[in-house]
Amino acid sequence: MHIHAGEAAMRATKFLLLTSAASMVVAVPSWAQTMEAPPEATAADAAPQAEQAPDESPDESIVVVGTRIKGSKITEALPVTVLGAEDIANTAAASGDELYRSIPQMGDVSFNSSYLPNSSNSARGDVGSVNLRNLGVGNTLTLLNGRRVVWHPTSRADDNLVPVLTYNSNAIPVAGIERLEVLRDGAAAIYGSDAVAGVVNTVLRRDFDGGELSVQYGMAEGTHLHEFNANAIVGHNFGDGRGNVTLFADYTDRSALKAHDQYYTESANKSALFQGTDFEGVATLDGRSTITPWGSFTTVGNRRVSIGTNSLTNASGQFHIQPGTNAGCQAAMGGGLCVDDGTNTATADRNLRFDAPYAYNTDVMPAVKRLNVFLTSHYEVADGVELFGEAGYYRAQTDSYQAPTGTLSSGPIVVPASNYWNPFGATLLPNGQINPNRIAGINAPAAGLPITISSYNFADVGPNLVNVKNEQFRLLAGLRFEGFGFDWETAAVYSEASVRDRSDGISATLLQRQLALSTPDAYNPFNGGNIADPSGADTTLSNAAAIDAIR
């Protein structure tokens, strides 16, 4: 996570200058299948079902989508699942992410809008992914009408902390899908290394004449989740059936799902849900954060601080703030707070862990507004010669409230000895007055000790608002013709995707300046959280001027 207010803009571009496929007018039994092949190149054509008998007709066309790699050898038919329009309609999917999740061969789809939503180091916003056979995001090739689509610009870390990219499944126009073809086996020999897990080819409708409109509205009872979805398709044949233009459009408006909407998401501590089971008492069920408003600190130079023989820090100079009701208090600070040596991650201080969903009712799913528009066209200019084209546009915006900002160990913040609230600060303030916040009797020098913030959550600043805007477009122009005993197809494709990620945060520069003040408007990281409910929302806030100054 970041310590400063951030905006990230990323862009991915795909430009395929020329693609071509040629199909020989002969029958090859080991590759062919009995089916009426559409004009588009499809994964199903490339990998037919083994159980279907080959067509003995000499006019059969064999179309391979992909690139032939010399030395690759396929000795048997590849397993392909085809979901038709009726199957797709039965899923009632309102987005590409929902549709792909319905595929039985799909694995864990963790690359989505709910994965690490409070970290700008993860893809956020309206994003979905494809993970065939659970072989990992980024290992499944996604095609649209037999051609590659642009990568989503932002990445996330996989289980080995390696950044991975994926195609954004939500950019697929669900309203216009004719069928979905799933190659359920590795196809790297034909398609390249990004098809290790398989291939998913989305084929859009063509030759549609007329219009359709569907509208649906739904809500999850007892929650804030409401969703409106509208799909439209309109098409027209012209030139005595030699040409067609078809337009699809999807629009979705969904509200956020809040943490308090469901009993199993209202707290990061799931221990209570497993009482009376074999998992009762398992520590990992407590997912509350150790980065809390009850800060952990270290004296610069790791100097031990004590009052006589009573140590306020450990040998490494570490200490933390806690309620006076917790065991281990070494020195009172007033206001029901005290100093204890060491960090606050020990079992005895588990009540100090921060429960952001409970405290701030954060969003489990973001609010989203999504628009998908796609146009396909083709025209037979002469016998055996056809021009075709595609144009697509996708735009989405998500808004989400997430946990407040915490510190990073890689970017330590130092509280100067001059800070008004520093418990180990100078004996006298710059104006000559006695420092009211220095703990009496400590062995720190009269000039005070600077303190490094080891772990701290800026909960008094409030939750983060994360706003992400995605945009993607695709243009394609192509030509099909027959000649020299082959069917020829060539096309030029240009596609581009961009993401703008904005979130609230704290400026490290402004924070450091505010910590250096020796007046009450200095930012105070030593005021703890909620004494009555330590895991809850922060109620011991710095003054408003200090909070506004560090945003």
pLDDT of 25: 32
* Residue 13 backbone phi and psi in degrees, to 5: -130, 140
Rounded to whole angstroms, the Cα distance separating 372 from 472 reads 9
Specify the pairing of strand 306-307 against strand 310-311.
antiparallel
pLDDT of 7: 59
Average pLDDT of the chain, as a whole number:
83
The partner residues of 296 in beta bridges, in order of sequence, read 320, 455
Rounded to whole angstroms, the Cα distance separating 49 from 77 reads 6
Rounded to whole angstroms, the Cα distance separating 389 from 381 reads 14
pLDDT of 110: 63
Q: Could you tell me the two tokens for 50?
A: 């083994």
pTM: 0.79
The 3-class SS string of 228-293 reads EEEEEEEEEEECCCCEEEEEEEEEEEECCEEHHHCCCCCCCECHHHHCCCCCCCCHHHECCECCCC
Q: Could you tell me the two tokens for 328?
A: 């281990």
pLDDT of 13: 60
Rounded to whole angstroms, the Cα distance separating 171 from 156 reads 18
pLDDT of 9: 64
pLDDT of 136: 75
pLDDT of 40: 47
Residue 59 and residue 158 in contact, taking contact as beta carbons nearer than 8 Å = no
pLDDT of 375: 96
Which structural domains are found in the chain, ordered by start? 6-260+363-403+465-503 (2.170.130.10), 292-360+408-455+507-551 (no CATH)
pLDDT of 523: 97
Could you please report the per-residue DSSP string of 394-417? Answer: EEEEEEEEEPPPB--TTS-EEE-T
Q: Around Cβ 333, how many Cβ atoms within 10 Å?
A: 19
| Regions of the chain with pLDDT less than 50 | 1-5, 15-54, 66-72, 117-118, 120-121
Residue 490 and residue 20 in contact, taking contact as beta carbons nearer than 8 Å = yes
Question: How deeply is 204 buried, as exposed, middle or buried, from its count of CB atoms within 10 A (0-12, 13-18, 19+)?
Answer: buried
pLDDT of 348: 74
pLDDT of 236: 96
